[in-house]
A and B are shown apart, each in its own frame.
Chain A
Amino acid sequence: MRRFSRRRFAGLLAGAAAALLALSACSAPAPTHPGLTSWGQVTAAAKGQTVRLWMYGGDEQGNAYVDKTLIPAAAKVGVTLQRVPVADTKDALNRVLTEIQAGTKDGSVDLVWVNGDNFGTGKQAGAWLCGWTSLLPNMSLTNPTDPLLTDDFGTPVQGCEAPWSKAQFTIAYNAATVTDPPHTLAGLLDWAQQHPGRFTYPAPPDFTGSAFTREVLDSVSGGYKNVPLRFDQKAFGRLTPALYGRLKALAPSLWRKGQTYPKTSTELNALYAGGQVDFTMTYGPAELTKLVADGTYPAATKVLTLQEGSLGNASFLAIPATSGHQAGAMVVANLALSPQQQAAKADPRTWGQFTVLDTARLDTAERDLFARLPQSPVVPDFNVLSKNANPELAAAWVPALDDAWRRLVLAGQ
């Protein structure tokens, strides 16, 4: 379906080939200033606007939170919010890039749930509106020096996206079959070699599989402190032979002898749910509680806590430069940052996404909202989970690591 509409869109583009050639000059990063200078102006302009939020649609709890909590709250402040599910955030970015190519000024994407290389690539191509988050009143509730919020996978945020949630890379296992759970990532790889066929990871460039290879890179390099966050070819050449050597040595012990890999984290989750492997992994541990409760995952599912910690990141809401409803999108981003919405989103019964707010900056009543949240029986508290959190590598590392993985480990060249 998607491909068809793209083709048709491409056809329309070609029909206006001459115009397009002229417009291709616009594909260079465009200056992006909102033209709105105060919050009063923003709220006035936002009244009655319809904001389309494009977000990954594979997380049912996330969908339910937006539909049942965020959309009604947005309606109360006079903004109609619509959720547009996408199979991958890259689809939303691609749509924006195509709109930039076509010179659209009133595009179909007003807000995107984004982070990492999608954000970095979009910023490089001038896809995002920048310098607007300082207008949001609720930004004062976040810590301005929090490294997770000032840099997104090494790309400076610079007001081009507003923080929404924090996440921690989490490995889960079935305690009924894994009686001797490892305590380090190196130990996990050893466990996999001692139990052939019971472990695998999604093939990069899948988001989760890609994060797993970065965890292995930190591990084989002797800790994240030895891996420079900023990408440079020298460090890549020095550090990655150990990474791919380890993963190649591991491959014969993986599911299907490492001759193939799950293509997506969804496939890995299905293997775990079907009892074909004993471990699964996710960058959104919030989903575990519900999956165990409804019986999709084994009842004995536990979170593996690693001594060296795991990767942590934040995800954001970005406004495309092509959006025609930027004021409305800002109002929604501010609303999503409010203590009430952040607390509702952090409730494991709703979504369980960790807050980006700095609790020290909240008043007692607001802090109480978070203190009253129930504990999940599967997922430990964020403070436990994010202990020794490892910073994410710069976005430029990601495609380089993914490409080399496909070449060296998957294709075995």
Chain B
Amino acid sequence: MAAPAVLVATFVVGGGMATSLAQSLGLFPLVGPPSLTVAAYAAQASELPAGIGLSLAIAAASTLVACLVGFTAALVIVQGRWCGKLVAALGTLTIPVPHIIGAASMSLLLADSGLLARLFNTGGGWPELVGGPWWIAVVAEYGWKESAFVALVVTGTLATRAVSYDETAALLGAGRLRRLRHVLIPLSMPALAVCATIVFVYSLGSYEVAWLLGRAYPEPLPVMALQLFNSATLTARPEAAAVAMVTTTLSFGAVAAAFAYLRRSTLWR
């Protein structure tokens, strides 16, 4: 049933990556004859380590925040009282908001002359959240948007798989903390791991939030790639493709690690 969709997706993603790879290796130059070379990678070698480190750090921090908040929200939703319904509604409303709108809203909210700074009237003492050295607004945006995604997926798992075990454990006299530790967390781990991988790879590869809310230097990999792609210098396009290939490799590494973990997990079926 899914074959046509998979086929189209493979064609688009595979084709895009093949073109990027070929371009990064100098096979599709804008001017001059094509030649196989790693010059594009070498040209960015000095900038790449900082970019890789920053991208991985932003993705890891965002994933951690999204998973913690999302899992907590899922627990609140599953217990099903009025506040659970409220959290579920908020989560559902968050999902369709595009990241770029989220980023613009974060900027209006958290910037030095933003809503919160004006509300508290700090008189210049507002912390550097937007464009600051710790990329807080960027992580906050990813954490907010993706926690809703994590919450809804984990809620699905908990509602279908965990409720009966949870009730059994309660009947046998387990307290809340013991049920959390021995029933709810282990049963949600596979779903959490899948969500975490998706969130990690997404925040590693998307540029608009980091571009809008980040600082000018150092640049995360996707921002660096876009900057190079848009550069008026004709030799910069292979370099942009090279940075994109590095990002792709990191993403595949993260997915491979997640699959290795899930294969060992007995709950994954």
Contacts and interface: CB of A to CB of B under 8 A. Distances in A.
A27 B112 CA distance: 47
Nearest to B211: A263
A271 B117 CA distance: 14
B16 A276 contact: no
Interface string A95-116: 0010011000000000000000
Given A256-B128, A275-B113, A205 B15 contact: no
B19 A11 contact: yes
Instruction: Please report whether the interface of chain A is mostly helix, strand, loop or mixed according to DSSP.
Output: helix
Contact of B15 (A13, A27, A259): A13
Instruction: Please report whether the interface of chain B is mostly helix, strand, loop or mixed according to DSSP.
Output: loop
Interface stretch (B25-33, B68-76, B139-147, B159-167): B25-33
Contacts, number: 102
Contacts of B15: 10-15
A125 B230 CA distance: 15
Interface in B1-44: 11-16, 18-20, 22, 27-32, 34
A101 B19 contact: no
Interface residues on A, range: 35 or more
Contacts of A124: 31, 234
A299 interface: no
B8 to A, nearest CB: 10
A14 B112 contact: no
B216 A261 contact: yes
Interface residues on B, range: 35 or more
Interface in A243-265: 256, 259-263
Interface string A265-285: 000001100111000000000
Of A14, A21, A97, which is in contact with the most chain B CB atoms at under 10 Å from its CB? A14
A361 interface: no
B120 interface: no
Given A7-B12, A90-B230, A121-B233, A14 B19 contact: yes
Given A13-B15, A274-B112, A276-B112, A27 B30 contact: yes
B12 A11 contact: yes
B34 to A, nearest CB: 6
Contacts of B183: none
A8 interface: yes
A24 B34 contact: yes
Nearest to A7: B16
Contact of A410 (B132, B217, B234): B217
A268 to B, nearest CB: 12
A14 B28 CA distance: 11
B202 interface: no
A257 B14 CA distance: 45
B226 interface: yes
Given A94-B229, A256-B128, A274-B113, A11 B13 contact: yes
A101 to B, nearest CB: 7
Contacts of A203: 216-217
Interface in A330-381: none
Interface in B105-145: 112-113, 128, 131-133
Nearest to A20: B28
A147 interface: no
A101 B34 CA distance: 12
Contacts of B131: 256, 260
A217 to B, nearest CB: 19
B251 to A, nearest CB: 14
Of B13, B131, B211, B226, which is in contact with the most chain A CB atoms at under 10 Å from its CB? B131
28 contacts: A3-B207, A8-B12, A13-B19, A14-B16, A14-B22, A15-B15, A17-B19, A21-B27, A21-B34, A24-B27, A24-B28, A24-B29, A28-B32, A88-B230, A125-B31, A203-B216, A205-B227, A256-B131, A260-B131, A260-B217, A261-B216, A262-B216, A263-B215, A263-B216, A271-B113, A275-B113, A399-B233, A411-B217
Given A3-B226, A21-B34, 6 more contacts: A8-B12, A27-B31, A94-B229, A261-B216, A274-B112, A274-B113
